[in-house]
Amino acid sequence: MADRSAWTLAAAAVFAAVTVTAAGVVLFQHTPPTAKKITGTDDGTPGLAWSFDVATALDRPWAELVDPRAGVVFPNNAPSAIEVGDTLVSAAGVNRDGYSLEDPVMIGIDANTGELRWQTPAAAVSQCSDTPLDGKIVCYAAAEKYEIVTFDAESGDVERRPVDESVFAVAVADDTLYVVEGDAENYDVRVHAGTVDDLSATWVRQFEAGGGWEEIFSGAALTVRDGIGLVGTAWQSATFDARTGEELTGVEPDLCITSSRLVTGGVVVQNQVECTTYDSVTEVLRAPEGQDLARVDSGAAHNPYVDSPTDATVPVVLGDSGFDRETGEKLWTYPPLIQDVGGQAVSALVAVIGDIGLLRDPATSSTSAIDLRTGEELWRRDEPSSLNPSGFSDSIAVGEDGEALLALDMRTGETLWRAPFDAIVDTDVDTSWWGTAIPRGEDWIYVSAGTVLGMTPL
């Protein structure tokens, strides 16, 4: 293992300057490290350019990173960061009760060197947009009062703007801020489209949508993509035209919908169940205006770790088949997409990356991949695999298998490289196995609860 003192970037000895601003933001400047070969890996494995240990950098034992998208009140996503230029924005704190972070901060990490650029308090931040607006991460905070909170990715400057509305979701798309507020449990909510300074600058519309607070905090209550918006959860959701706010579909109380996802192409994938027994699953592809394009009584719902098709021309998977996203036409069928495990239908779809689908047999953990445009099998590996992909670049998927970080060529099934966590980190390896891989050109960044790793080809 590489000597920790050579590459642990939290070490105070590399500080060139420290600046404290009036806003309470602590700024740091450092000198870049050099990449080192990871012990026991082959020549194709990238080297460790830098490593960021959150507990050391913040001088807070037991501090951990969380995904700022999920906030610091009920953080339930895999640890992650939002990349804004050369800065990785993440949230950190000590999780003592299993729920909220204690004394949470938002932090900025230099994506090229792994150095801590800034940290600033992030009290009560409940959720943040995954897309920056004018170089800032936009969040909302809910405590004694509601606030729209922005964090400048470059400087760490924070601005908190109290608002009268009871905000419970924010999103950024096409340089517009979308905010949802109101009474979610009584389906009386409003969506605003505008700016940080004027939430309703473009439009504001009321919707009979919402959901229980447990659902609101456990998943996205607002999604905007491809000119369409989805507000609410499951059957309590509605779709709207993101440009005008016009309602396209409303709540459908006669249907028992367990989930609604707005996917690439501006179409919605719903999972519907039988309303009395809940023992059957029908996957439904719906146009933005609400008409059913395709229905499949699959018995199982697909929920891949990564769902990032190249564009809307890549068929959407329902059950064991691929369907045209615009017309709903069935284009192909591949039966292994749905597996029978003890008499129960189970999805085998692990990831959608580009135009490739990665499958893992839920019984044997063997893996395979299919061409999503044709349904043809690209490869199959009988040996068990527990790869959980969390990032991708072209057809290369990167993720962890519980013991190591590895890269998989989705087109061939070849494992391109594997870097064991116990050869990379000196801290508790158990804090590394759940995280998010972020591509940066030829480099990879891996964010876990305890550390952030910067890896580059040697």
Q: What's the pLDDT score for residue 2?
A: 39
- When pLDDT is cut at 50, 70 and 90, the band that residue 18 belongs to is very low
Q: Band the pLDDT of 77: cuts 50, 70, 90.
A: confident
Q: 7 pLDDT exceeds 50?
A: no
Provide the mean pLDDT of the chain.
89
pLDDT per position as a tens digit, 351-383? 999 999 999 999 999 999 999 999 999 999 999
Task: Find out whether 224 and 242 touch, Cβ atoms under 8 Å.
Answer: yes
pLDDT-derived band of residue 10, with 50, 70 and 90 as boundaries? very low
The whole model's pTM is what? 0.89
Is residue 191 within 8 Å of residue 184, measured between CB atoms? no
Q: How many whole angstroms separate alpha carbon 146 and alpha carbon 125?
A: 10
Residue 152, classified by CB atoms within 10 Å of its CB into exposed (0-12), middle (13-18) or buried (19+), is: buried
Give 19: exposed, middle or buried? Use CB within 10 Å, 0-12, 13-18, 19+. Answer: exposed
214 compared with 299, residue with greater pLDDT: 299
Using 50, 70 and 90 to split pLDDT, how confident is the model at 291? very high
User: Which of the pair, 183 or 211, is modelled with greater confidence?
Assistant: 183
Domains in the chain: boundaries? 1-164+447-458
- Please, how many CA atoms are within 13 Å of residue 99, restricted to the half-sphere of its CB? 7
Q: Is the pLDDT of residue 115 over 50?
A: yes
- Average pLDDT, stretch 184-195? 93
What is the rounded CA–CA span in Å between residue 20 and residue 24?
Answer: 7
372 CB-side CA count, 13 A: 27
Is pLDDT at 12 greater than 50 in this prediction?
Answer: no
Neighbours of 200 (CB within 10 A): 16
Three-class DSSP category at 222: strand
CA 240 to chain centre: 23
> Could you give the C-alpha distances from 98 to 76, 101, 183, 191, 421, in angstroms and in order?
10, 8, 27, 31, 24
Cα 136 to Cα 170: distance, rounded to the nearest angstrom: 13
Lowest mean pLDDT segment, chosen from 330-344, 345-359, 382-396, 421-435:
421-435
**For range 342-353, the mean pLDDT:** 94
Band of pLDDT at residue 113, cut at 50, 70 and 90? very high
Range with lowest mean pLDDT among 30-34, 185-189, 273-277: 30-34
Q: How confident is the model at residue 11 (pLDDT cuts 50, 70, 90)?
A: very low
Give the pLDDT band (50/70/90) at residue 430: low
Mean pLDDT of all residues in 266-271: 94
- Please say if the pLDDT value at position 90 is more than 90: yes
Strand extents, DSSP E, 164-298: 167-173, 176-183, 188-194, 203-207, 222-225, 228-231, 238-241, 247-249, 257-263, 267-273, 281-286, 292-296
The pLDDT assigned to 152 comes to: 98
Residue 74, token pair as written in the block: 């009920």
Q: pLDDT exceeding 70 applies to what percent of the chain?
A: 91
Q: CA angle, 118 as apex, 117 and 123 as ends, to 5°?
A: 150
Q: Is 408 left (phi over 0), alpha (psi -120 to 50) or beta?
A: beta
Task: Check residue 318 and give its pLDDT.
Answer: 97
Average confidence (pLDDT) over 26-37: 61
Q: What is the pLDDT of residues 228-264, one digit of tens each?
A: 999 988 778 899 999 999 999 987 777 888 888 999 9
Tokens of 124: 């009560």
pLDDT digits (tens, 9 = 90+) for 392-429: 999 999 999 988 999 999 999 999 999 999 888 766 66
Range from 7-11, 40-44, 74-78, 407-411 carrying the lowest mean pLDDT: 7-11
What 3-state DSSP class applies to 364? coil
Does pLDDT of 181 surpass 60? yes
Q: Is the pLDDT of residue 22 over 50?
A: no
What is residue 425's predicted lDDT score, i.e. its pLDDT? 79
Residue 21: per-residue pLDDT: 44
Backbone angles phi, psi at 57, to 5 degrees: -65, -40
Average pLDDT on 279-308 reads 91
Q: Is 13 a residue whose pLDDT tops 50?
A: no
Determine the average pLDDT of the residues in 424-437: 76
DSSP character at residue 13? G
- CA angle 260–264–267, rounded 5-degree value: 50
Tell me: pLDDT of 30 over 50: no
Would you state the pLDDT for residue 16? 38
pLDDT surpasses 60 at 166: yes
Helix, strand, or coil (residue 144): coil
